[in-house]
Structure 1
Amino acid sequence: MNRPPLALALGLLLAGCGLHPLYGGGGGGRVASMLGHIEVAPIEGKAGWLVSNAVRDQLGADRGTSPTYRLEVRLDDKVTGLGVRGDDTITRERRTLRARYQLIDLANGAVLLDATAGSDAGIDVVGSEYATIAAENTALERLSGTIASQIVSRIALYAERTSPAEP
Protein backbone atom coordinates (compact mmCIF):
# COMPACT_ATOMS: atom_id res chain seq x y z
CA MET A 1 0.00 0.00 0.00
CA ASN A 2 1.30 3.43 -0.90
CA ARG A 3 1.30 5.54 2.31
CA PRO A 4 2.04 9.12 1.07
CA PRO A 5 -1.17 9.42 -1.00
CA LEU A 6 -3.17 8.02 1.93
CA ALA A 7 -1.61 10.51 4.35
CA LEU A 8 -2.26 13.34 1.90
CA ALA A 9 -5.88 12.29 1.47
CA LEU A 10 -6.42 12.13 5.25
CA GLY A 11 -4.77 15.53 5.66
CA LEU A 12 -7.08 17.05 3.07
CA LEU A 13 -10.12 15.50 4.74
CA LEU A 14 -9.17 16.91 8.13
CA ALA A 15 -8.46 20.34 6.67
CA GLY A 16 -11.88 20.35 5.05
CA CYS A 17 -13.76 19.50 8.25
CA GLY A 18 -12.71 22.70 10.03
CA LEU A 19 -10.54 21.14 12.71
CA HIS A 20 -7.84 23.44 13.99
CA PRO A 21 -5.69 23.67 17.11
CA LEU A 22 -7.38 25.28 20.11
CA TYR A 23 -4.15 26.99 21.11
CA GLY A 24 -3.20 28.01 17.59
CA GLY A 25 -0.75 30.87 17.58
CA GLY A 26 0.95 29.69 20.77
CA GLY A 27 1.30 32.23 23.56
CA GLY A 28 0.26 35.04 21.24
CA GLY A 29 -2.96 33.40 20.02
CA ARG A 30 -6.41 34.62 20.99
CA VAL A 31 -7.11 31.77 23.41
CA ALA A 32 -3.80 32.08 25.25
CA SER A 33 -4.24 35.85 25.31
CA MET A 34 -7.63 35.59 27.01
CA LEU A 35 -6.46 32.93 29.46
CA GLY A 36 -3.52 35.12 30.43
CA HIS A 37 -5.84 37.96 31.49
CA ILE A 38 -7.99 36.04 33.98
CA GLU A 39 -7.70 36.57 37.72
CA VAL A 40 -8.94 33.80 40.00
CA ALA A 41 -11.02 35.01 42.95
CA PRO A 42 -10.18 33.40 46.30
CA ILE A 43 -11.94 30.06 46.85
CA GLU A 44 -12.81 28.87 50.35
CA GLY A 45 -11.18 25.93 52.11
CA LYS A 46 -8.39 23.50 51.40
CA ALA A 47 -10.08 22.25 48.23
CA GLY A 48 -10.45 25.88 47.14
CA TRP A 49 -6.77 26.55 47.67
CA LEU A 50 -5.83 23.47 45.65
CA VAL A 51 -8.25 24.26 42.80
CA SER A 52 -7.23 27.92 42.75
CA ASN A 53 -3.53 27.09 42.45
CA ALA A 54 -4.15 24.44 39.79
CA VAL A 55 -6.29 26.85 37.73
CA ARG A 56 -3.67 29.62 37.99
CA ASP A 57 -0.94 27.21 36.91
CA GLN A 58 -2.94 26.10 33.86
CA LEU A 59 -4.06 29.60 32.88
CA GLY A 60 -0.52 30.89 32.69
CA ALA A 61 -1.79 34.32 33.72
CA ASP A 62 0.43 37.23 32.75
CA ARG A 63 1.33 38.85 36.08
CA GLY A 64 2.56 42.01 34.34
CA THR A 65 -0.85 43.13 33.08
CA SER A 66 -4.09 44.00 34.78
CA PRO A 67 -6.80 41.34 34.51
CA THR A 68 -9.69 41.70 32.09
CA TYR A 69 -11.74 38.82 33.52
CA ARG A 70 -12.39 37.29 36.93
CA LEU A 71 -13.10 33.63 37.56
CA GLU A 72 -15.33 32.94 40.55
CA VAL A 73 -15.60 29.34 41.74
CA ARG A 74 -17.78 27.73 44.40
CA LEU A 75 -16.95 24.17 45.44
CA ASP A 76 -18.95 21.32 46.92
CA ASP A 77 -16.66 18.68 48.47
CA LYS A 78 -18.24 15.53 49.92
CA VAL A 79 -16.94 12.24 51.27
CA THR A 80 -19.54 9.47 51.33
CA GLY A 81 -19.19 6.00 52.84
CA LEU A 82 -20.14 3.19 50.47
CA GLY A 83 -19.06 -0.29 51.55
CA VAL A 84 -20.17 -1.42 55.01
CA ARG A 85 -19.04 -4.54 56.87
CA GLY A 86 -21.19 -6.63 59.16
CA ASP A 87 -19.83 -4.70 62.16
CA ASP A 88 -21.01 -1.39 60.57
CA THR A 89 -17.52 -0.18 59.64
CA ILE A 90 -17.06 1.54 56.29
CA THR A 91 -14.71 -0.16 53.82
CA ARG A 92 -14.96 2.21 50.86
CA GLU A 93 -15.54 5.93 50.41
CA ARG A 94 -16.26 8.16 47.46
CA ARG A 95 -14.91 11.70 47.42
CA THR A 96 -16.86 13.98 45.12
CA LEU A 97 -15.72 17.46 44.15
CA ARG A 98 -18.08 19.68 42.17
CA ALA A 99 -17.48 23.25 41.05
CA ARG A 100 -19.81 25.93 39.82
CA TYR A 101 -17.85 28.70 38.15
CA GLN A 102 -18.49 31.98 36.42
CA LEU A 103 -16.24 33.99 34.13
CA ILE A 104 -16.97 37.67 34.64
CA ASP A 105 -15.97 40.56 32.37
CA LEU A 106 -14.44 43.16 34.69
CA ALA A 107 -15.26 46.02 32.27
CA ASN A 108 -19.02 45.70 32.67
CA GLY A 109 -19.65 42.95 35.25
CA ALA A 110 -21.31 40.68 32.69
CA VAL A 111 -21.25 36.94 33.31
CA LEU A 112 -19.69 35.52 30.15
CA LEU A 113 -19.67 31.88 31.17
CA ASP A 114 -21.62 30.05 33.88
CA ALA A 115 -20.86 26.35 34.05
CA THR A 116 -20.07 23.38 36.27
CA ALA A 117 -17.29 20.84 36.54
CA GLY A 118 -16.99 17.74 38.66
CA SER A 119 -15.16 14.55 39.36
CA ASP A 120 -15.06 11.81 41.95
CA ALA A 121 -12.62 9.25 43.31
CA GLY A 122 -12.93 6.01 45.23
CA ILE A 123 -10.99 5.53 48.44
CA ASP A 124 -10.26 2.27 50.28
CA VAL A 125 -10.75 2.61 54.01
CA VAL A 126 -8.05 0.61 55.79
CA GLY A 127 -7.32 -0.16 59.44
CA SER A 128 -4.95 2.80 59.78
CA GLU A 129 -6.74 6.11 60.24
CA TYR A 130 -3.60 7.92 59.09
CA ALA A 131 -3.54 5.94 55.83
CA THR A 132 -7.22 6.68 55.20
CA ILE A 133 -6.73 10.41 55.79
CA ALA A 134 -3.69 10.39 53.50
CA ALA A 135 -5.76 8.63 50.80
CA GLU A 136 -8.55 11.19 51.17
CA ASN A 137 -6.03 14.05 50.82
CA THR A 138 -4.41 12.45 47.78
CA ALA A 139 -7.84 12.01 46.20
CA LEU A 140 -8.59 15.69 46.85
CA GLU A 141 -5.34 16.75 45.18
CA ARG A 142 -6.11 14.63 42.10
CA LEU A 143 -9.71 15.86 41.94
CA SER A 144 -8.56 19.49 42.23
CA GLY A 145 -6.28 19.07 39.22
CA THR A 146 -9.07 17.39 37.25
CA ILE A 147 -11.56 20.15 38.08
CA ALA A 148 -9.00 22.82 37.16
CA SER A 149 -8.38 21.15 33.79
CA GLN A 150 -12.11 21.01 33.09
CA ILE A 151 -12.54 24.69 33.98
CA VAL A 152 -9.58 25.91 31.90
CA SER A 153 -10.56 23.73 28.93
CA ARG A 154 -14.12 25.10 28.99
CA ILE A 155 -12.86 28.70 29.20
CA ALA A 156 -10.44 28.05 26.32
CA LEU A 157 -13.28 26.66 24.23
CA TYR A 158 -15.39 29.70 25.09
CA ALA A 159 -12.49 31.99 24.08
CA GLU A 160 -12.08 30.18 20.78
CA ARG A 161 -15.76 30.41 19.94
CA THR A 162 -16.31 34.03 20.93
CA SER A 163 -13.05 35.85 20.17
CA PRO A 164 -12.84 37.62 16.83
CA ALA A 165 -10.53 35.91 14.34
CA GLU A 166 -7.05 37.34 14.07
CA PRO A 167 -6.08 38.98 10.78
Structure 2
Amino acid sequence: MPDHVAAPTQSHTNIDNLPAETVSFAHRMFDAAREGNTELLLQAVDAGLPVNLTNDKGNTLLMLAAYAGHAELTKGLLQRKADPNRLNDLGQSMIAGAVFKSHDEVVRVLVEAGADPRIGKPTAIEAAHIFGRKELMEVLGAKQGDIGANVPTPLSARPEK
Protein backbone atom coordinates (compact mmCIF):
# COMPACT_ATOMS: atom_id res chain seq x y z
CA MET A 1 0.00 0.00 0.00
CA PRO A 2 1.44 3.43 -0.84
CA ASP A 3 2.33 6.21 1.59
CA HIS A 4 -0.56 8.58 2.09
CA VAL A 5 -1.18 11.95 3.60
CA ALA A 6 -2.67 12.12 7.07
CA ALA A 7 -3.73 14.92 9.34
CA PRO A 8 -1.41 15.92 12.19
CA THR A 9 -3.38 13.58 14.45
CA GLN A 10 -3.40 9.78 14.52
CA SER A 11 -6.29 9.60 12.02
CA HIS A 12 -5.60 9.04 8.35
CA THR A 13 -6.99 10.85 5.31
CA ASN A 14 -8.22 8.80 2.37
CA ILE A 15 -5.75 9.40 -0.47
CA ASP A 16 -8.53 8.88 -3.03
CA ASN A 17 -9.76 12.38 -2.14
CA LEU A 18 -6.42 14.03 -2.88
CA PRO A 19 -5.01 15.28 -6.18
CA ALA A 20 -2.29 13.05 -7.69
CA GLU A 21 0.23 15.90 -7.37
CA THR A 22 -0.39 16.07 -3.61
CA VAL A 23 0.12 12.33 -3.20
CA SER A 24 3.29 12.46 -5.32
CA PHE A 25 4.61 15.35 -3.21
CA ALA A 26 3.90 13.40 0.00
CA HIS A 27 5.81 10.40 -1.39
CA ARG A 28 8.79 12.68 -2.08
CA MET A 29 8.65 14.02 1.49
CA PHE A 30 8.55 10.53 3.03
CA ASP A 31 11.49 9.56 0.81
CA ALA A 32 13.34 12.73 1.90
CA ALA A 33 12.87 11.68 5.55
CA ARG A 34 14.19 8.16 4.87
CA GLU A 35 17.13 9.47 2.82
CA GLY A 36 18.05 12.25 5.23
CA ASN A 37 17.41 15.08 2.77
CA THR A 38 17.38 17.66 5.56
CA GLU A 39 17.34 20.78 3.40
CA LEU A 40 14.39 19.70 1.23
CA LEU A 41 12.26 18.36 4.05
CA LEU A 42 12.80 21.22 6.48
CA GLN A 43 12.09 23.76 3.73
CA ALA A 44 8.81 21.96 3.03
CA VAL A 45 7.87 21.95 6.73
CA ASP A 46 8.79 25.63 7.02
CA ALA A 47 6.55 26.29 3.99
CA GLY A 48 3.56 24.56 5.62
CA LEU A 49 3.96 20.78 5.29
CA PRO A 50 2.50 19.29 8.49
CA VAL A 51 5.47 18.26 10.63
CA ASN A 52 3.55 15.22 11.94
CA LEU A 53 2.48 14.00 8.49
CA THR A 54 2.02 10.22 8.53
CA ASN A 55 2.19 7.49 5.91
CA ASP A 56 -0.08 4.48 5.48
CA LYS A 57 1.62 2.68 8.39
CA GLY A 58 1.24 5.61 10.78
CA ASN A 59 4.94 6.50 10.56
CA THR A 60 5.65 10.21 10.81
CA LEU A 61 8.42 12.05 8.99
CA LEU A 62 10.30 12.10 12.31
CA MET A 63 9.91 8.34 12.74
CA LEU A 64 11.30 7.67 9.28
CA ALA A 65 14.25 10.04 9.81
CA ALA A 66 15.02 8.63 13.27
CA TYR A 67 14.75 4.99 12.16
CA ALA A 68 17.14 5.71 9.29
CA GLY A 69 19.65 7.32 11.67
CA HIS A 70 19.49 10.91 10.41
CA ALA A 71 20.35 12.82 13.61
CA GLU A 72 20.49 16.32 12.07
CA LEU A 73 17.14 15.88 10.33
CA THR A 74 15.70 14.44 13.56
CA LYS A 75 16.88 17.58 15.41
CA GLY A 76 15.44 19.86 12.74
CA LEU A 77 12.03 18.18 12.82
CA LEU A 78 11.97 18.28 16.62
CA GLN A 79 12.83 22.00 16.55
CA ARG A 80 9.75 22.41 14.35
CA LYS A 81 7.57 20.68 16.97
CA ALA A 82 7.46 17.14 15.59
CA ASP A 83 5.98 14.86 18.25
CA PRO A 84 8.70 12.52 19.64
CA ASN A 85 6.08 10.35 21.34
CA ARG A 86 3.91 9.35 18.40
CA LEU A 87 3.38 5.63 17.95
CA ASN A 88 2.90 4.06 14.53
CA ASP A 89 -0.03 1.82 13.65
CA LEU A 90 1.80 -1.19 15.14
CA GLY A 91 2.22 0.62 18.48
CA GLN A 92 5.96 1.13 17.99
CA SER A 93 7.82 4.22 19.18
CA MET A 94 10.52 6.00 17.20
CA ILE A 95 12.94 5.89 20.13
CA ALA A 96 12.63 2.09 20.35
CA GLY A 97 13.22 1.94 16.58
CA ALA A 98 16.39 4.03 16.95
CA VAL A 99 17.58 1.70 19.75
CA PHE A 100 16.84 -1.33 17.56
CA LYS A 101 18.81 0.15 14.64
CA SER A 102 21.74 1.16 16.94
CA HIS A 103 21.39 4.86 16.12
CA ASP A 104 22.74 6.02 19.48
CA GLU A 105 23.02 9.70 18.53
CA VAL A 106 19.38 9.73 17.42
CA VAL A 107 18.39 8.04 20.71
CA ARG A 108 20.16 10.82 22.63
CA VAL A 109 18.50 13.54 20.50
CA LEU A 110 15.07 12.00 21.10
CA VAL A 111 15.67 11.66 24.87
CA GLU A 112 16.73 15.32 25.04
CA ALA A 113 13.51 16.25 23.20
CA GLY A 114 11.38 14.41 25.75
CA ALA A 115 10.75 11.11 23.98
CA ASP A 116 9.26 8.66 26.47
CA PRO A 117 11.37 5.47 26.63
CA ARG A 118 8.50 3.61 28.30
CA ILE A 119 5.86 3.81 25.55
CA GLY A 120 5.22 1.40 22.69
CA LYS A 121 5.85 -2.30 22.35
CA PRO A 122 8.56 -3.07 22.95
CA THR A 123 9.54 0.05 24.87
CA ALA A 124 12.93 1.62 24.11
CA ILE A 125 14.19 0.38 27.47
CA GLU A 126 13.02 -3.16 26.70
CA ALA A 127 14.64 -2.98 23.25
CA ALA A 128 17.94 -1.85 24.80
CA HIS A 129 17.74 -4.76 27.25
CA ILE A 130 16.78 -7.35 24.61
CA PHE A 131 19.70 -6.33 22.39
CA GLY A 132 22.21 -6.05 25.24
CA ARG A 133 22.63 -2.27 24.80
CA LYS A 134 23.69 -1.62 28.42
CA GLU A 135 25.23 1.75 27.50
CA LEU A 136 21.80 3.00 26.41
CA MET A 137 19.98 1.87 29.55
CA GLU A 138 21.41 4.85 31.47
CA VAL A 139 20.72 7.27 28.57
CA LEU A 140 17.10 6.06 28.60
CA GLY A 141 16.81 6.47 32.38
CA ALA A 142 16.07 2.79 33.01
CA LYS A 143 14.94 2.00 36.55
CA GLN A 144 14.24 -1.10 38.60
CA GLY A 145 10.99 -2.59 37.31
CA ASP A 146 11.27 -1.33 33.71
CA ILE A 147 12.13 -4.85 32.53
CA GLY A 148 9.39 -7.34 33.27
CA ALA A 149 9.82 -11.10 33.51
CA ASN A 150 8.23 -11.43 30.04
CA VAL A 151 11.07 -9.47 28.36
CA PRO A 152 13.78 -11.76 26.95
CA THR A 153 17.26 -11.38 28.37
CA PRO A 154 20.11 -11.71 25.86
CA LEU A 155 22.37 -14.74 26.33
CA SER A 156 25.35 -12.44 26.94
CA ALA A 157 23.60 -10.88 29.94
CA ARG A 158 22.48 -14.11 31.63
CA PRO A 159 24.43 -15.26 34.69
CA GLU A 160 26.55 -18.34 34.11
CA LYS A 161 25.50 -21.53 35.83
Is this a same-fold pair by TM over 0.5?
no
* TM-score interval, smaller chain: under 0.3
Normalised to the residue count of structure 2, the TM-score between the two structures is 0.20
User: Which one has a bigger Cα radius of gyration?
Assistant: 1
